[in-house]
C-alpha cells in the first residue's frame, strides 16, 4: 500500500518476473491486486474493518488503473509494461506470456473480453510452430535456437492451460488444457524431470533441469484441471 504511485494508483517500478526489465509490469500489478484483495479478506475475518476497507479500496483503484494505463485499445490486449520517462509514460507493448496474470490473480474474470483477446494472441503469436509449446515473449533471445522464435517453456505453456481451464464453460472445453498437459508430459525426461525450456528442434531440455517452477506449475495446473472436471461432473449429476 505504501509502495504505490499515488497519481496513477499503480505499484512503483520493480523488475518483472523474468528479472530482465524494470518498470510497472501488468503481471506485477495483477499480483499486487490479488494480494491486496486477500489482505482485505483476512483483515475482515479478523474484525479489522477499517484495514479491510483500505486494502480493498487500494486494490480496486489499482484495477481501475490497469484499465486506464495498461490495456491497449489498438492492439486489443494488455501491455507487458509501462515506464516513466521524463514525466511521461512509455508503453512496452511486447506480447508476453506472463499476461496470464490478469485473470490468474482475480483482477479480471477469464471470460472478460480483454482477457480473451489477450490470451488468444498469446496462443497465436507465442506458440512454437516447430515443437509446440509457448515462448516467454516476442523475440526472446535467451538460449534461442530458431531465429525470430523463442523456445517453448513449460511454465508458459501451463499458464495457457490454466487459462483454458478457467475459461471452460463445459466439460468438453477442458480438452485444450488436457492437450497442453500431455505436451508437457511428453517433453519431460524419462525420469519425469521437467527442465526450464525445450529445444524446439530436438525436444531436449535447455537451461536449468530440473526446475522447481516447472514442476510446481504442472502440479497446480493438474489441480485446476481436476477441480474443474469435478465441478462439471457435479453439475451433470444434479441435472
Q: What are φ and ψ of residue 26, in 5° steps? A: -60, -40
What pLDDT sits at residue 239? 72
What pLDDT sits at residue 149? 87
Q: Are strands 88-92 and 81-85 parallel, antiparallel or unpaired?
A: antiparallel
Rounded to 10 degrees, the C-alpha dihedral 73/76/79/84 comes to -10
CA dist 166 and 156 (Å) reads 15
What is this structure's pTM?
0.95
* Coil/strand/helix, residue 188: coil
What pLDDT sits at residue 175? 98
What pLDDT sits at residue 238? 77
What's the maximum distance between 2 C-alpha atoms anywhere in the chain?
60
Q: Is 140 exposed, middle or buried (0-12, 13-18, 19+ CB in 10 A)?
A: buried
What pLDDT sits at residue 135? 98
What pLDDT sits at residue 80? 98
What pLDDT sits at residue 236? 83
What pLDDT sits at residue 46? 97
For 63-113, how does the pLDDT look when each residue is reduced to its tens digit (9 = 90+)?
Answer: 999 999 999 999 999 999 999 898 899 999 999 999 999 999 999 999 999
What pLDDT sits at residue 160? 98
Residue in the structure block whose three cell numbers are 496462443: 123
CA dist 11 and 26 (Å) reads 10
CA dist 46 and 80 (Å) reads 36
What pLDDT sits at residue 148? 82
pLDDT at 202 over 80: yes
What pLDDT sits at residue 6? 84
Check residue 193 and report its DSSP letter: -
What pLDDT sits at residue 96? 98
Q: Do 26 and 101 touch, CB atoms closer than 8 A?
A: yes
Quote the mean pLDDT of the chain.
96
Amino acid at each position: 500500500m505504501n509502495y504505490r504511485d499515488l497519481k496513477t494508483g499503480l505499484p512503483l517500478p520493480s523488475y518483472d518476473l523474468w528479472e530482465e526489465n524494470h518498470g510497472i509490469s501488468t503481471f506485477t500489478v495483477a499480483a499486487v491486486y490479488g494480494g491486496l484483495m486477500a489482505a482485505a479478506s483476512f483483515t475482515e475475518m479478523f474484525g479489522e474493518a477499517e484495514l479491510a476497507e483500505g486494502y480493498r479500496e487500494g486494490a480496486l483503484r489499482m484495477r481501475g488503473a490497469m484499465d486506464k494505463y495498461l490495456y491497449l485499445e489498438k492492439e486489443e490486449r494488455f501491455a507487458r509494461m509501462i515506464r516513466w520517462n521524463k514525466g511521461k509514460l512509455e508503453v512496452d507493448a511486447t506480447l508476453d506470456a506472463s499476461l496470464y496474470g490478469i485473470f490468474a490473480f482475480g483482477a479480471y474474470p477469464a471470460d472478460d473480453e480483454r482477457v480473451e483477446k489477450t490470451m488468444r494472441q498469446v496462443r497465436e503469436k507465442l506458440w512454437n510452430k516447430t515443437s509446440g509449446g509457448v515462448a516467454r515473449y516476442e523475440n526472446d533471445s535467451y538460449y534461442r535456437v530458431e531465429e525470430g522464435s523463442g523456445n517453448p517453456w513449460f511454465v508458459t505453456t501451463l499458464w495457457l492451460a490454466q487459462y483454458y481451464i478457467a475459461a471452460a464453460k463445459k466439460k468438453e472445453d477442458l480438452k485444450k488444457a488436457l492437450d497442453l498437459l500431455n505436451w508437457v508430459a511428453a517433453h519431460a525426461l524419462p525420469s519425469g524431470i521437467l527442465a526450464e525450456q525445450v529445444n524446439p528442434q530436438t525436444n531436449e531440455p535447455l537451461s536449468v533441469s530440473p526446475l522447481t517452477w516447472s514442476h510446481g506449475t504442472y502440479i497446480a495446473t493438474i489441480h485446476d484441471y481436476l477441480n474443474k472436471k469435478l465441478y462439471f461432473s457435479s453439475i451433470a449429476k444434479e441435472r
